[in-house]
């Protein structure tokens, strides 16, 4: 993967290193296309800064260059989250360059990064989630295939907390109906099994029995969820499904990721073990899951302030 125009302005050794690093991220580490593009953009920016400082080889990259680059980006008004990502990209690049013999040292190992500020995720209350899952009232007509699909999509997203990309990537063979488990391939092609409950089971059964056959065509292959033209359902359509259902239920704007946040928080509210939730969500680090404990604590604090006479 190449980044233009800065990529082409780099010296040949650095240009080749960018290309090889991109192949490593995509082919060896199985990083997503979005992550590869973001990391390469950061690396090109770093190397362009180094060249402007008179450093034209990987051996000349040192901690001073890395810190100077980050300082220049910070001075330009970069967000804390962007700075954290840039530092991570720099560390990944210099570590790779050193391990592959392209650089004599790994200056990125000395590089600290600003801790990204994390806002608490948007979470539906249990009653709001129930309203979102409930079919619209006053519509006795038999639902069409898209309505059946949309109901199954909503139920499965909330039941499992899987990512929208993971949902769209599901095949029929990934659903174990007898055990009520879906096989999910998450980030880095990591596989995990995620259980779902009876409402999601019933919605899936209805979709596979009465909805999917109506939309299936040559291009459907084994995709679990289909679009109106018979191809695999796309994330943009899923986002519209969730947002539309939230509007119909009189709820604030809701995204598939909000359902993921809600599922995790409601599991913890119900007494689920933090590590079990980590495994269900496919988080590689427990710190990613711990954000939901803060959500639960904030909800408890709000209830206390509202209800306790000495709050």
Residues with a catalytic annotation lie at 163, 187, 257, 260, 283, 292
Distance, in Å, from the CA atom of 205 to the CA atom of 183, rounded to the nearest integer, reads 17
Contact 87, 70 (CB under 8 A): yes
Sheet strand arrangement including 181-185: 175-176, 181-185, 191-195
Among 129, 122, 120, CA closest to 270? 129
CA distances from 183 to 109, 258, 273 (A): 36, 21, 21
Helices and strands (H and E) in the chain: how many: 14, 3
Distance, in Å, from the CA atom of 288 to the CA atom of 281, rounded to the nearest integer, reads 10
Distance, in Å, from the CA atom of 23 to the CA atom of 8, rounded to the nearest integer, reads 17
Q: Buried b vs exposed e over 47-84: b needs ≥16 C-beta within 10 Å?
A: bbbbbeeebeebeebeeebbbbbbeebeeeebeeebbb
CA distances from 171 to 152, 205, 229, 240 (A): 14, 14, 17, 21
Cis peptide before 99 (omega within 30 of 0): no
């Amino acid at each position: 993967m190449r980044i233009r125009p800065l990529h082409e302005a780099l010296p040949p050794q650095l240009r080749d290193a960018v290309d090889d690093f991109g192949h490593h991220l995509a082919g060896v580490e199985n990083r997503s296309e979005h992550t590869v593009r973001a990391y390469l953009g950061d690396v090109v920016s770093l190397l362009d800064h180094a060249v402007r400082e008179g450093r034209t080889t990987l051996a000349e990259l040192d901690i001073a260059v890395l810190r100077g680059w980050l300082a220049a980006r910070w001075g330009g008004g970069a967000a804390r989250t962007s700075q954290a990502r840039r530092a991570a990209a720099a560390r990944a690049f210099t570590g790779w360059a050193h391990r592959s013999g392209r650089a004599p040292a790994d200056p990125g190992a000395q590089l600290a990064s600003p801790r990204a500020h994390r806002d608490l995720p948007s979470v539906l209350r249990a009653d709001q989630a129930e309203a979102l899952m409930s079919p619209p009232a006053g519509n006795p007509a038999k639902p069409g295939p898209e309505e059946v699909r949309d109901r199954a999509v909503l139920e499965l997203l909330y039941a499992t907390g899987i990512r929208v990309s993971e949902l769209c990537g599901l095949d029929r063979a990934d659903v174990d109906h007898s055990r009520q488990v879906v096989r999910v391939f998450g980030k880095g092609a990591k596989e995990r099994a995620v259980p779902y409950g009876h409402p999601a089971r019933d919605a899936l059964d209805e979709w596979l029995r009465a909805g999917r056959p109506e939309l299936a065509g040559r291009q459907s292959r084994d995709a679990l969820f289909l679009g109106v033209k018979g191809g695999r359902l796309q994330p943009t359509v899923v986002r519209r499904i969730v947002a539309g259902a939230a509007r119909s239920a009189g709820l604030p704007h809701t995204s598939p990721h909000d359902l993921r946040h809600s599922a995790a928080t409601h599991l913890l509210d119900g007494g689920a073990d933090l590590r079990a939730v980590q495994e269900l969500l496919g988080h590689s680090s427990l710190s990613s899951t711990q954000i939901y404990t803060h959500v639960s604590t904030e909800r408890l604090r709000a209830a206390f302030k509202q209800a306790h006479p000495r709050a």
